[in-house]
A and B are shown apart, each in its own frame.
Chain A
Amino acid sequence: MNKLLLSLLILLLAAGCTERINVNLDNSYIRLVVDGGLATDSMQRSVTLSKSASYFYNQPPPMVSHAIVTLTDGSFLDTLREELPNKPGVYSLDSNFRGTIGKTYSLDIKLPEVIGNVAEYTSSCKIMKVARLDSIQTEFNPNLGKNGHWQIKIFAQEPGDEVNFYLLKYYRNGKLMSDSIQKWSTSDDKYFNGSYIRGLTAFYINNGNPWETLHPGDTVIVQMSGITKEYYDFIQQVQQAGIQIPFFSGPPANVEGNISNGAVGFFSAYSDSFARHIIPKQ
């Protein structure tokens, strides 16, 4: 519904103009940044460690290598292996590892040297259930926007006995199109708890963007993940970070992650459900 609100006011905002400006900013202390996690399948099984930088740093984030990263669920499970020299700062689980629904996983990080006076960090996340995705459909809506939009609709039975949060991503011909957090779609079950979700639009894809639009014959896969409330809130906060619209935005604040000792970021663990659809040729 927030998105709808935004669309309602586009007309007014269209009157506003933008220009780049120079702003003098101070630098706060450096923090560890943690990003990644695991899933009930092999789609997600790595964690990236980097350092925060000054706001106008304008280079790839400085990575943190040679950390000892271990995963536990009460007892030791695995030590994540850094993929040196190709991917410094990226620590991966064993390729056979699969998360289990209902389990709480903990990630422990020991850094070779302190960041922000701290060398040891920890975090944990529980794998929530996910509603089974029955099917998906695609539909071209020519009236939406100048070039029309593709809509990807989902069908699933929403369980009514619990509060659920969902993360949705889509793939086109095997390639992950939701390749940055900005392109992820999220939903809670507040407005349809316990209902049969009969064709709710999860993605609107602008047909005017050739790099992302769909075509007849394309294979579309939707990945629906059951996530925790904390991760759901985190994704929303990250998606809105940096943007202030005086009509809606509250005061800016640091995103709230789940890593201890003041590190930024989130260690996530979730369950997945997939559905596939081939767009029929005329």
Chain B
Amino acid sequence: MKFLKTCFTLFCLLTAFHVYSLPENAKKYTVIGKVSDKNDGESLVGATVYIKEMKTGTTTDQYGRFSLTLPQGTYNLVFSFIGYTSYSREIKLDKDFSLKIELSTEQKELQEVVVKSDRTDQNVVKPEMSVFKMDIHTIQKIPALMGEVDVIKAIQLLPGVQSVSEGSSGYSVRGGAPDQNLILLDEATVYNASHLMGFFSVFNNDAVKDVKLYKGDIPANYGGRLASVLDVRMDEGDSKGFEVNGGIGIIASRLTVEGPIKKERCSFIVSGRRTYADLFLPLSSNKALQNNRLYFYDINAKINYVINDNNQVFLSGYFGRDVFSNQFSRMSWGNGTGTFRWNHVFSKKLFFNFTAVYSDYRYLLGTPSGATNSFDWNADLRDLGIKGDFSWYLNTNNTLHIGGAVTYHMINPGKASGTGSETVFTTIQVPKNYSIESGVYATNEQKFGTHLVATYGLRLSLFQNIGPGTVYHYTPTHVAIDSSVYKTGVIYNTYGGIEPRIGLMYQFNEKSSVKTSYARTYQYLQLAQNSSAGTPLDIWFPASPNIKPQIGDQVALGYFRNFRRNTIETSVEVYYKWMQNVIDFKNFAQLLLVDTLEGQVRTGKGYSYGIEFLVRLNEKIVSGWVSYTYSRSFRQIPEIQANPYPAPYDKPNNISVVLNFQLAKRWSVSANWVYATGAPVTFPTGRATIAGKIIPIYSDRNAYRYPDYHRLDLSVTFASKEKPHRKFTWDLNFSVYNAYDRHNTWSINFVQDNVDPNTTYAEKIYLFGIIPSVTFNFHINHE
């Protein structure tokens, strides 16, 4: 109750303050509107709305909407969005009204209303920092492994983001652990974003609209993870005409259908893909491989319905599975998510969103029944949640966001049981656990004059373990002595967190600004994983009487400067981050199918810092970015090692070059080059012989490094002729991953020679040589 009271007081304070601060004299009116793509009617998120006369503006929200309250008068509004032609419109503001703005993509521009000189950009003017937004067209230009363009692989090329292991979908943001990233697909949490052991991610590009990564300065409406939020939005479907998109690659094919159900009101999109590498396995001369199955598939679907000007709903879902099987065993794993959302406009100044989400991650492992060692092993995690969010455009100077969310987590950490009458295995059920994670927040974006913008807010989070549940009690040396069992519905443990989020922006002029931010975040759910690349056998475990919530504090300072009519964006950001109660595991931890997982957790502190330089290009011919990052990340967990040690993601020097050249109308070339200091690793500094085996005696944790990592990828795309109203277009993409055949280290093993057992040597495993691929993409448009 105390918690609710605090929230209420906070709400009253914030609102009261601003209501009273409204100037009374000038007559004011509100214009609201929606900005969408002229071609397919999809809303444009984060488009800029610039008021020429005021030299200020706003951006559209997650649903493409905006609201501006201005004194009576005549204004020129300029609407702009990357990749689209800017559009200017004069409005006479003597009453409240709404606008519908449609922007067309640059390729199809007809030189009508081009106002390039006035184009502003979010990089400089938006009061948010440590953010990187990419639309799907940018991602699609990046050369990719086996031609399968991937959202997560694109994210890993950003400054401040490190891949955890070659080919992995795991990533570390500013020195955080991979499980400290919140990954959202239409607001539903994706707990394991990997397909095929991480070589591909769960995001199908044809179904994704855009992605936004928050590396810091995380807005108060997000919570639950320390390091970052990756917000992926699914395509809404073309509300104007039917489209079919597809692609045929060397390992997978994709097909997407979208179109109107009711023109300009209701649209749908269905997208699916499947890999088929395993279809060729029966041709293999290796008998053992012939019966193997190894594939993944996924389906995305969304229906979007604009009921009227004030109400819009959508329903979206994702389902994906990886399947592996051979004659001895089978394994499958995957995510499912579902989202229902209702956007409602209460008034010209008050917008509301309601969201209900479901997410699910599960895996199954087993052997054919009828043998003595037949068994099935499954585990799952399910989330059920609702969120409500009010956007209140109080006046030109204040935009208030207030909302809350409640999520019910249901975790089955694992159940293994023998199958068939022959089996010797009994049943093991690791106790299931349940918890409720909730949060309320209020945040205000306030302008002080034309130069200074402050964003300040507070998130109050609450985490409760709820029965049925079993809690083990441990000695100080982590030995389980006994346990308490709680009945259904009993709340047996509660944690709360106060999470301030503060940002300040000072805009020198239209081309440059300086921003600073502080954010505190709490994390109540973490992944039991101590390997670097990870497996699909993920177990998330909650904060509990034994495990305290992780707490992160980050401060950041950045300078932002745009050049050449905003086609070149540059930024420098420095950050420092402190983390409390970070998780590691004891040496030789056994994390699967154990009741006493918590007894193997070791907690301590972490800290990381860095500087990130970014140049982002959006010229007609060249687009992409070049970045350099220097960063460090350490952990201090006394029960692991007395001294602080480098985190596994501590790779000080990092360079990313991601460029696309539009050489001619039909030809484009892309290249990316990445360089990173080798990952820290523990190496032997001695050896001992035990029962015929030479075993290493190790250095301090992470005292050595793998060789530096670098790689060049190239691709060439040849597209069909651009003609207006052409029904069928296509492109052909050739790409080469690891073009100069760098044998990047995946791991180094220390091996005893078979022939001379007194000899030991180091052996490197690398995953990829040069990997060429070809992909054919097509697009059918039926207006």
Contacts and interface: CB of A to CB of B under 8 A. Distances in A.
B428 A246 contact: no
Contact of A57 (B375, B687, B693, B746): B687
A249 B684 contact: no
A4 B697 contact: no
B747 A55 contact: no
Interface of B: 165, 168, 196-197, 286-289, 292, 294, 324, 326-329, 331, 365, 367, 372-373, 375, 377, 416, 418, 422, 424-426, 428, 530-535, 537, 585, 587-589, 592-593, 648, 682-699, 701-702, 704, 707, 743, 746-752, 756, 758-769
Given A54-B687, A250-B589, A254-B697, 10 more contacts: A5-B535, A22-B762, A28-B699, A35-B691, A55-B686, A181-B690, A197-B424, A242-B696, A250-B587, A264-B690
Given A28-B686, A31-B688, A249-B531, A20 B763 contact: yes
A200 B424 contact: yes
A4 B425 contact: no
A185 B648 CA distance: 32
12 contacts: A5-B535, A11-B292, A16-B746, A16-B766, A25-B683, A54-B687, A57-B687, A201-B373, A246-B168, A247-B533, A250-B589, A251-B682
B367 A242 contact: no
A143 interface: yes
Interface string A23-42: 10111111101010000000
A265 B372 contact: no
Contacts of A182: 692-693
A152 to B, nearest CB: 13
B426 A193 contact: yes
Given A35-B689, A55-B696, A198-B424, A4 B329 contact: yes
Nearest to A236: B588
A33 to B, nearest CB: 4
Contact of A247 (B197, B373, B428, B686): B197
Contacts of A15: 767-768
B685 A27 contact: yes
A5 B416 CA distance: 14
Q: Which of A31, A57, A242 has the most CB of B within 10 A?
A: A242
Contacts of A253: 587-588, 682, 698
A19 B695 contact: no
A52 B748 contact: no
Contacts of B531: 245-250
B532 A246 contact: yes
A63 B740 CA distance: 48
Q: Which of A143, A193, A241 has the most CB of B within 10 A?
A: A241
Given A11-B292, A58-B758, A265-B690, A18 B587 contact: no
Contacts, number: 238
Contacts of B530: 250-251
Contacts of B682: 251-253
A191 B375 contact: yes
Contacts of A193: 426
B534 to A, nearest CB: 7
A31 B696 CA distance: 12
Contact of B764 (A18, A52, A143): A18
**List of 9 A-B pairs having minimum Cβ-Cβ separation, nearest first:** A180-B692, A253-B587, A246-B533, A181-B691, A250-B530, A28-B685, A242-B750, A241-B695, A33-B688
A247 B535 contact: yes
Contacts of B588: 233, 236-237, 250, 253, 256
A17 B765 contact: yes
B197 A26 contact: no
Nearest to B366: A4
A180 B691 contact: yes
A251 B701 contact: yes
A56 to B, nearest CB: 6
Contact of B747 (A31, A53, A244): A244
Contacts of B752: 242
B697 A35 contact: no
B697 A56 contact: no
A54 B685 CA distance: 6
A59 interface: yes
Contact of A8 (B324, B418, B686, B759): B324
Contacts of A52: 686-688, 697
Contacts of A244: 747-749
Interface in A180-200: 180-182, 184, 190-200
A55 B765 contact: no
A31 B697 contact: yes
A179 interface: yes
A213 to B, nearest CB: 17
Nearest to B533: A246
Contacts of A247: 197, 531, 533-535
Contacts of A55: 684-687, 696-697, 750, 760
Interface in A217-265: 233, 236-239, 241-256, 264-265
A56 B686 CA distance: 8
